[in-house]
Chains A and B, each alone.
Chain A
Amino acid sequence: MQLSLSEDQSQILGFLDGLTKPYASVPMHDHSLALTSGELDAALVENGFLDVMAEEELGPATAALVVEKLARLPFAVEAAASALVRRLIDPELPRPLCLVEEGQLRKPVRFLADGATVVVVGPSGVRSFTVSADLIGAPQEDTLYAYPVAFLTGLPDTLTTHDVDPAEITRAWRVALAAEAAGLLGAALQSVVTYVSERKQFGRHLATFQAIRHRLAEDQVVTNGVYWLAIRAAASGSQADAAMAALHAQEAAKRVTYDYHQFLGGMGMTLEHPLHLWTYRLKLLTAELGGRGANALAAADALWG
């Protein structure tokens, strides 16, 4: 075991911090439900951050670390699927990469836009296509997620079939989900900790109420758990690890999205506090890959058959 960051990893994460600094806070007076930035996306691609998995000395654990760190930004960027899944299918697939469960076209698709690659993953295989505007539903005003989302209206007549094991792609998807959730959970926790440490009611900081302290402390425990399970699952490549990481991520997401808005009181209902930029991404992640029940069953299957 060696659980501290390697020198390469430290360097990469340090460099990533520098590169993303301009995106580390919400632009003044911006009250959007979701924040995105084309420049941030381009800078990540240009500097190879989404391809670290391919580097032998870095590999999937480093890719997961990068995804986790990026998810801490208030800006939503399509990194998880590109950094942790794309290479296993075809490293040349154009981004953004939109992973879709077979038979689940009813669900909103994150980052779906003209020219994106849609990968349909399911029991019958892994197939992809470059999406054109005619397959994207009319834009919906006011979705309640902090990701750009859209609906597919159908699949094209022909899709490219990839000669890969769908179980392996699903595994990587679970890791991607968990790594992204880990960053979102960490950033959301930090933002709430700051708020309750500053806000006073009844002549004391909210943070001094044990009702809040214990729940936040438990939130820290599960957030830490998701972080380690996600990185381990990335490193190990094990089906059981991936399913447990995804399950823990979704359990944690469900728990904190309630707690955190609750602890902010009225402020937690506004778009003036940035909390939703993390929690309203976590909400959508709880729905992915069938949700907690499906990931729990996958974990049980992998652990005990």
Chain B
Amino acid sequence: MNFEWSEEQDAFRQTLRDFLAANLPDDWEKFSEHGPASPALTAFARDFCKKLADVGLLFPHWPVEMGGEGLGPWEQQILAEEMWIAGEPRGGQYMNVNWIGPTLVKYGTQEQQARYLQPITEGKSLWCQGFSEPDAGSDLASLRTRATLTDGNYVINGQKIWTSYAGLADTCFLLTRTSDDRKKGITILLVPMDTPGITVRQIPSLIGEGDIHEVFFDDVTVPEGARFGDEGQAWEIIAYSLRNERLGIPRFTLARAALDRAVAMLKDAGDFAREYVRIEAARCATLCEAAATANYAIVQKRVDGLGVGPESSSARFATVMCERAVCEFVVEFVPEALAGASPYLKMHHQRGIVAGIASGAAEIQLNIIASDVLELPREPR
């Protein structure tokens, strides 16, 4: 075992840092407070991602045949870390390169690839993920948004909720129900967001502007060719996509960076001498590092070409633990940060508090760890 980054990996990280230093505006920190889904950051990201693409840094981890540089999972990790620490200047486009693109390549028709891949690689498109519904959150398989095939078109009726980026997205990766079979009755449609019959409502939130929405579908009609994969294949496809999605956000790096900022503020104020503050800070740092190592062990599995199993839930929960601890540390000892004194820490807080909810509730991860890692007998039904 070797816990050091290689020279090439260090150099790659440095390249990213140099790029960020050269391409983020001076007031970036204040600006990033807008949140990754805000109109301001989305507009910024269109420019920024194009610049990243120009120098081969938008999707360097994609295989060469997809137009990427063929870099490995470690480089993908480093890329995600540096972007996330910087406040995710790619906005919602991080999703495109993490999972939408790779999923398109694996399951898309030639037509779909021709239509959607190029805008992604040029940093031009913004997708949203239409999975959750008012009555189908943790129990995603109970989703009810209907798609009915008639005369070569799917007619969609129903409602999605919590959809990030929906207000500005051009395309929705939409889960619909095409038959009553719980999991095998779910079908993916790629739906242009300007299709008549789609209404988007932004939900006022604690986590910043533009992040969560309700999306209504009233007789929304798309051609059969908008179907992604076969009818009923959605569950298999999203299992693949979500594996990529969940590894996509290295929250523990931002949590650690936020913690370091908080400690720096305490030191500046002469308030970092008290033992209980130091103990809490050290506890938080330890949780961040525990999350980092748990996540790195998963990256290693990918490097080794092994399947990633339920241990990814363990890594994810370790991340929730560190996010929680750092959020609480800031609230307890640097409360001014959330009242305007540190846009960076406020940004972290707003992203940190969703760690246990977005892309699947923490309790569901715990159930997976209990059943599939510990192999505990299941609760009787």
Name A's B-contacting residues (CB within 8 A). 31, 33, 106-108, 140-145, 149, 151, 200-203, 209, 211-212, 250, 254, 257-258, 261-262, 265-266, 268-272, 276, 280, 283-284, 286-287, 290-294, 296-297
Contact = CB atoms under 8 A, between A and B. Distances in A.
A291 B335 CA distance: 11
Interface string B349-372: 110011011000111001000000
Nearest to A291: B332
B130 to A, nearest CB: 14
A23 to B, nearest CB: 21
B272 to A, nearest CB: 13
26 contacts: A106-B341, A107-B335, A108-B339, A108-B340, A143-B338, A144-B338, A151-B339, A151-B341, A201-B138, A203-B139, A212-B363, A262-B361, A265-B361, A266-B132, A266-B162, A269-B212, A270-B206, A271-B205, A271-B206, A284-B331, A286-B328, A286-B332, A287-B333, A291-B276, A292-B332, A293-B274
B336 interface: yes
Contacts of A292: 276, 332
B356 A140 contact: no
Q: Which one of A31, A291, A294 has the highest number of Cβ atoms from chain B below 10 Å of its Cβ?
A: A291
Interface residues of B, number: 44
Given A107-B336, A144-B206, A268 B331 contact: no
Interface in B155-211: 161-162, 203-207, 211
B340 A140 contact: yes
B351 to A, nearest CB: 11
Interface string B119-156: 00000000000001001011100100000000000000
A287 B338 CA distance: 12
A143 B135 CA distance: 32
A1 to B, nearest CB: 34
A258 B162 CA distance: 19
A269 B357 contact: yes
Contact of B206 (A108, A149, A276, A293): A276
Contact of A296 (B204, B276, B331): B276
A261 B275 CA distance: 30
B280 A261 contact: no
Contacts of A254: 328, 331-332
A90 to B, nearest CB: 27
Contact of B336 (A106, A257, A271): A106
B346 interface: yes
A162 B132 CA distance: 59
